[in-house]
Structure 1
Amino acid sequence: MIRLKDRQLALTNKRITTSVNNLPIPNSQANDICSALTGISDLLIEYEKLVLVTSTRECSWPVAQQGFLQYCQRFNRSYTILECAATEIPSPGTAYFTLNDADLASLIAKTNMFGYKLGQDIGLLAFDDSPIKKLMNLTVVTTTLPSGSTSQQHPVNSCNNTFEIIRRASL
């Protein structure tokens, strides 16, 4: 028998599968995402279509997806949900909400390649702030964590997180 202390994980040679669709989603968190998006309706109204770029690698996407859907349905907005941005060709009049930096980088590169302007032709809303996103002047949805905490210590689906928008030039 192996004894484990609290917060330890035992790895076995058994395959364990889980689906992010089955993660518990606190309703208040989805409402917070919806409220954050509602707070930038004046920016989002400039775009004909909204696209949420999710990733099955991101454990946070059910909360973001539910809040995004609430917003789009409440305001009768045209939307699409993509699993990744790798094959997406940016379309003028579209605002993209990306949940990871790989998809964000892909959309920025393609936007530049096609000669579109961020915040004018294409809108970008990124998840989670960082020094690079601040330097690139990207609008972000971010979480408020207890002082000194990291997102690893307080996962996005934690009941104590709230979401807010930092307005910058990409929308």
Structure 2
Amino acid sequence: MGEFTHVTVLLQEAVEALQVKQGGVYLDGTLGGGGHTEAILRQSGPDGVVYGIDRDWDALRAAGERLAAFGERLKPLHGNFHDAKALLAAQGVAQLDGVVLDLGVSSFQFDEGERGFSFQEDAYLDMRMDQSCGRTAADLCNTLTQEELTRIIRDYGEERWAARIAAFILQAREKKPVETTGEL
């Protein structure tokens, strides 16, 4: 697996909008490569804290390494930003001074063929942000009904040809399970 890299978009604008203050407590609900978190830690020093949530263990590891110089001021948490309230409560955090969410998939997930997000390399069809839980895209392609596949492709992929694509998936899996990005 390669090095986790991600170009943070709108970094200055996002951090400026937070109005970061020294000693503040912040949440980066999508820690990723740690770009926003690094800027917040710098501006909130010497005692500001950032809780960084990510579903991707590789992202947590990489951000921890990248931001090691900030020591205990970085509080990485494994999970989904949807569960931020419970994750923060478990840490004893009752109030935040600001929150940032950089939603989407990072370039790392696309660049690493083994993650199964990209068609640039034929690899196992995984597509999970957290590879330690949940069903893979291959599982879904091979078990869901045409209607369920259509809904997922339409709602999450914003694909106008979702029904047609779902029909092709069902047709392909009649011959053999759809298991790789190339097959999909």
TM-score tier (shorter)? 0.3 to 0.5
**Which structure is larger by alpha-carbon Rg, 1 or 2?**
2
Relative to the length of structure 2, the TM-score reads 0.31
Structure with greater helix share of residues = 2
